[in-house]
Amino acid sequence: MEKANDIELTCLLEQLRSKGQHKAAFWHRSEIAEAVETVVDIVDPRIRVLSRYNKRLRNAVDTAWRYLDNLTQNIPCELHLSKNSFAIDPRVRVLFAHLDSMLRLFDQSQSLKEFFVAHPHADIAYLFLCMDMKEKTRFGVELDGEMLKREVMQTAVTFTDHAILSPALIQQDAAQGVKCLGFSLLLKKVNQAISQSGIENRSLQDRKRQLTEEIRSLKIAANTAGTDNPLATASMEKLQHELHDVEHYLAITRMETESPDHHMQCIVDILQEPQKYLTIQRQSVSINNLGIKSEQGNTIEYAELEIPQLAKRVVMIVTVPKEDVAD
């Protein structure tokens, strides 16, 4: 899944989560069955041909969800996003390069608009905000007392690919968004595990073609020479033995790559031990008004949700006023 699809998947899971009357009970009781079907649709619909697939997946989904439920306690809530705060709070201007981009994010969120319709007396909404944080080292200028230093190594920080989820009346409910994002990243890990089998398969296919060509060349050389060559014969036997092993492993990896049973096992293996793959850490960064890391800058608190070498997202809880959300 590409990054754009990560957001689409997270939004899909958010819609599923919001169907439950009690958000904390999502994927428990009756909702878990629908969640299992969503996972199957995302990973491999052919899993449904397997006997009792829903029972095998139910425990794994429930385990992952309970783990993600514990992550909601690690999400900071400090920033208020509004037209007014953009003007007076430099931290907001660090998160969004332009006011229009922030307001467009609000305008494109159907769930935020629906929240204020459903809660006409609410003046603000708590939201789960996720984004990418990118750092780039470069040379710049720096004021040291009254002296202007040039060619100073600096780290510029930018935030991109913003998405908002889980509008709520209270902070705890907005934090449920981390569960949808975390679950989408775990499913991305599942797809990576399945794809890895395909990579191994292609590598074996390449080696098979190489061995076949080498054996063919040795046979041509032997026929041309017209006499037995013990060294050539030994080399050919060695290559044929390796070719036999490659074909054996190729058959195994091909079966794994295409097998719905293997795909379901990938789901179970990862969702039953989510702590091995997905972590969350509370972090902070100090950034000045120019978007440069600086000890004298403004501190932004956030949490980092990560699957190493696969995906990393910066998350926080923010508040948004009703008056800044277009009808």
In DSSP notation, 77-103 reads EEEE-SHHHHHH-HHHHHH-SSHHHHH
pLDDT: which is higher, 204 or 9: 204
pTM exceeds 0.75: no
Residue 57's pLDDT is: 93
Q: CA nearest 268: which of 62, 56, 65?
A: 56
Residue 141's pLDDT is: 67
Give me the residues paired with residue 279 across strands: 306
CA distances from 147 to 151, 168, 178 (A): 13, 49, 45
Residue 284 binned pLDDT confidence (cut-offs 50, 70, 90): very high
The whole-number average pLDDT for the span 122-139 is 92
In contact, 188 and 310? CB cutoff 8 Å: yes
Separation of alpha carbons 162 and 282, rounded Å: 19
Give me the residues paired with residue 159 across strands: 133
Residue 23's pLDDT is: 44
Residue 101's pLDDT is: 95
pLDDT averaged over every residue in the chain: 83
The whole-number average pLDDT for the span 273-299 is 91
Among 89-98, 137-146, 233-242, 285-294, which stretch is predicted with the lowest mean pLDDT? Answer: 137-146
| Spans of all domains in the chain | 3-134+161-190+268-324, 197-259
Separation of alpha carbons 124 and 139, rounded Å: 41
DSSP label of 22:
S
The values of phi and psi at residue 188, to 5°, are -65, -40
Residues 60-113: tens digit of each pLDDT:
999 998 898 888 888 999 999 999 999 999 999 999 999 999 999 999 999 899
Most trustworthy range by pLDDT among 9-23, 171-185, 193-207? 171-185
Residues 19-65: tens digit of each pLDDT:
443 444 444 556 677 788 888 988 889 999 999 999 889 999 999 98
Residue 151 binned pLDDT confidence (cut-offs 50, 70, 90): low
